A and B are shown apart, each in its own frame.
Chain A
Amino acid sequence: MSDQSTRLWNIFVDSFLPLLKAGVLFTIPLTLISFALGLIVALLTALARLSDIRVLSGIARFYVWIFRGTPLLVQLFIIFFGLAHVGIIIDPFPAAVIGFTLNVGAYNSEVIRAAILSVHKGQWEAGFSLGMTRMQALRRIVLPQAARVAVPPLSNSFISLVKDTSLAASIALTELFGKAQQFTATYYEPLLLYTEAALIYLMFSTVLSFLQARLERRFDRYSAR
């Protein structure tokens, strides 16, 4: 019994740093890059959906429909294995970035669209009455107010993404979860190693929740009417 605990302890110690390293080297950059690019995609998609130009809003609606209506794992498989089969070979990391960006972009576009629509029409009109263009009113007046509404749901989607990046293990990316799978194959200790991976994810998302709370407080300087 004590032999067994010593063995488990040693596996834990041996695997902890490599797991953490996989998290810091892959999970976190994958999350940050995909989320940042996803935000740009989301904003452009939201604006396209709100635009008067039919074709533009149609394309945006189609994109959101596809990426919200199909499983993320299947999207990743199509981008990595599917495209490779027709000669478009993308490395695991960029393939994962593309997949997560498009997926999170589709979801967040709806968040941003709703946030923009939540800003009172009178705010646009106040901007227009000063002679602002649509772009100026959007940037100066509407988006800052929409941001305040969008930050909590966007933070949720960010924390979800941290955890969803574990799906990248299935397209040959040895991020945190992939690394845990490798260790498991060596040591046959799935309970210990997967729990350990879970703890590291928990650590990441706890730190991020803390940052989220601070960000929300910063946006709370003025209160809505």
Chain B
Amino acid sequence: MSADMKAGAPRGGMLVDGLAQVGACGLFLLGMLGAIPRSLRHLREISRQIWFVGAMSLVIIMISGLFVGMVLALQLYYTLSIFGGTAALGTVVALSLYRELGPVITALLFAGRAGTAMTAEIGLMRATDQLAAMEMMAVDPIAFVATPRFLAGVIAMPLLANVFSMLGLLGAHLVGVTWLGVDNGTFWSNMTSNVDVWKDIVNGTWKALAFGVVVSLIAVFQGYTAPPTSEGVAYATTRTVVFASIVVLALDFVMTAFLM
């Protein structure tokens, strides 16, 4: 597939190449969605992949969430104290985390940790003929390799984003209440009365789900179509991080504008 595409690709400009990639990626997504019924026979493989991507990213996402929450508390405490509004610290931190930073930073970390691993793994499977071997054993590699990883990423992302936000709140509480002396009761009550579970938390979860779709799609597609050489796989992992980051940040703007 990759070899054919490479051989047949017009030597057009970057725009044409880019559009062709987007088109191929869209077709690949349709292929994976079409394979979902057959993938459901490989439930064991799907749960194994959820475990992999989840376990792989959990620690880095927890640590990052904690630090981001701590920094947020410091910065916002300073800003809010200018207006004498430090009582709102919990609210502002929670809204920033759940609506924005949780999904976005989780997606970026997820692309760097689990996304690159997916790309490299699938690329190497192609380079070492493992995908061809599956074809020869009458097992569809899209249904067995691509779709389970894609689904695992889509399922794991919202969970990880919520873990990130929760740890962020914990970090903000540590800094704001324990260190800077914001009243514990004020921190929570102000937050719980102003953060709307449906509007804010579900809104952020939709974002995380959408980011899960694009990051996993890019990672699996890059791996599946990587040239079967060491450079090919290396470039593909780099492209996964670059493309996934750009698409996540752009999509974040669009979704924020529409979901406000």
Q: Do A and B come from one complex?
A: no
